[in-house]
Structure 1
């Protein structure tokens, strides 16, 4: 059983997650392994059943699973202030690095034809292909779910907008609820975290109000900052299945309006693979690198808060009710459909914008295959593949 009473200090939580934020490479699945080794085995902050309970919740909700796991453990350890400290510690290193990279790109000026950028774009192809490969094997284990993923990809390619993406996710949930029944997955442990129900209801209400109200406010006022917050908030609210899924949502939000070029977008995405910590820190790069104000460091922090806010509101609002909700067969069936659809969204993103803007020659395809081989079969760390990809592109340039 997970204890509800805080048992540590906020500073202790911040230090532990700052260390994890500096050393956790490899994406959300790897992050969860680092968390377990550090917080369950080494520090003994919670037991195996409690940790599995928290991971199950954070994989159920949309948003960055590793960051949500960090926040939940922080709440268990040191209350709501501990949750904030965990998020700050885990996010700070990658956010600082991405802000610095955005400033470097800005100082370098036009990067569309830079050789190093081409290497990052090719690595991005391999990274997204790896995500499709791994997620497809896990989330689409039968013909029905494979078919749902492919149809979702076709729909998103035919309707390249937020409407197509949201429609595919909602349809996947409905189809999963109707077509993917199954035995209720066994539930480990009991999640008991001291978040008042009144605060949880307020957080859920805030999530819905912002999700519905921000587009209306942006349209009514025409203020760019409101439109920017709305785009990043909506992307953070619709991400199921890991940080890589945010790629198509953000690309459709910031590239077509001309806020950032597609080359600049993919440069940041490629660089994010070399960073420790959460992939959502990519939002800090985008906010800092985009042309309209707010931009620079203020813009990066603005977008970072916007993309994280919905998942944190959902997490806070779900904690008191999760223990009963997760035992419902209908909820689990709908989630199976959503997860299959998410694979389709990522498959569509693999084609455009990732593949179409990077692979233009046989040598490009060859380098992409080598990067994919290194990531999937040789399990080379992503940061090293990024470095090697940039060097290979420069050598062949």
Structure 2
């Protein structure tokens, strides 16, 4: 009975949670804390703090953790499936459809999707910047990160920069105040160790496997697993990491990439479900449904392994001042990564004329200041693109 309850509650949220990761956490609070009372408000705040600390999609991780607390490891899996399934199916079907279209014949609305991606990413950067870069030190970290990546762009360099500013934060940034505390469901320490070992083993072994066995399935799984394991700051931050993996390699062209990202912001559910779209439209096998499932599982697997692995040890980690200061530096650097991605590839491929700029800045206005739901802005931008191009 608990399994069905966990799955269908998550499925309901997956069908109705518009607005991105921050909005998802509000929907989750309303459902799991206020209505279901599966978790207290303070424990929920602790859980959100943990998932903000970990790499990966915070809202999906919160859902996994609540499923774990309610119905064990299988409950965690069911919670993820329920929340992710609706958006994944929509994105896969969209990907299968768009890959069969004549791109030139449908250029207007595809370009509209690329333009609205500028507004969505810009709003995400502004919101994250206000929260994660409130002082001159962290603003400087974000700008330095952005400048470096605009000159030398690579997924590996992003990882090095995050590591560097994590160390920098320990020595030069002031720690935030103590987090509100209430013990969470702790789980089993031995299972925690096992899942953490598996997380790091896959992260280290997969790059070697793809070199030893030049198999496209292994390459896809490695690229998306690495993206899911190294993304700090939520769904939007996966954009530059995935772009650097799939576009230069020729797996997905940039127009298809940005069109899919635009659609991802018009539907409910996790932005990480975008990985299923990329697997579906991949120009090399496996693609279609099989490619979509491989990429989707690979992108979310690190989050699942980390949640089950870290939760038993969170009580000791949560108030370690060095960890908190390190995360201040990492989170500020994440804003810089997004800022670089806003220019390349998002801006450079979308803003080609004054009309493009007018449409993008209008979308940003409605998103940021009129608080219009993102799915309405995406659909409106695509419709307007039919008339102005």
Task: Normalising by structure 2, report the TM-score.
Answer: 0.98
1:22 Cα offset (Å): 0.1
2:96 corresponds to which of 97, 100, 103 = 103
What's 2:153 paired with? 160
CA offsets 1:303-352 (integer angstroms, 9 cap, x no match): 00001111211111101000110110000000000000000000000000
> Are positions 1:332 and 2:339 aligned together?
no
Return the alpha-carbon distance in structure 1 between the equivalents of residues 354 and 103 of structure 2: 26
Between the aligned partners of 2:197 and 2:78, the Cα distance in structure 1 is 24
1:109 Cα deviation after fit: 3.4
Please give the per-residue CA displacement for 1:43-94, whole angstroms capped at 9, x wherever unaligned: 1112111211211111110000000000111111111111111101000000
Question: Structure 1 residues 396 and 259 mapped into 2: Cα distance closer, same or farther (>3 Å)?
Answer: same
- Give the distance between the partners of 1:292 and 1:192, measured in 2 at CA: 43
How many residues align structurally?
389
8 Å CA contact 2:176–2:324 kept in 1: the answer is: no
CA contact (8 A) 2:275 2:292 kept: yes
Residue 184 of structure 1 deviates from its aligned partner by 4.3
Which of the residues 233, 258, 262 maps onto 2:225? 233
Q: After the TM superposition, which segments of 4 or more aligned residues of structure 1 sit over 4 Å from their partners?
A: none
Match of 1:22 among 1, 15, 34: 15
For 1:282, what is the secondary structure of its paired residue? Answer: helix
User: Structure 1 stretches of 5 or more lacking a match?
Assistant: 1-7
2:204 is the alignment partner of 1:212: yes
Q: Give yes or no for contact 2:224–2:242 (8 Å, CA) kept in 1.
A: yes
Mapping 1:262-281, distance limit 5 Å: 262-281=254-273
Q: Does 1:300 align with 2:292?
A: yes
Which of 332, 353, 362 matches 1:370?
A: 362
Q: Which moved more, 1:152-161 or 1:139-148?
A: 152-161
Alignment-derived partner of residue 274 in structure 2:
282
Instruction: Pick closer, same or farther for the CA change 1:50–1:111 going to 2, 3 Å.
Output: farther
Contact in 2 for aligned 1:181/1:329 (Cα 8 Å): no
Q: How does 1:1-397 map to 2 (within 5 A)?
A: 9-110=2-103, 114-182=107-175, 184-193=177-186, 195-397=187-389
Q: Is the 8 A contact 1:155 1:164 kept in 2?
A: no
In structure 2, the CA distance between the partners of 1:59 and 1:112, relative to structure 1 (3 Å rule), is farther
Segment drifting more, 167-176 vs 353-362: 167-176
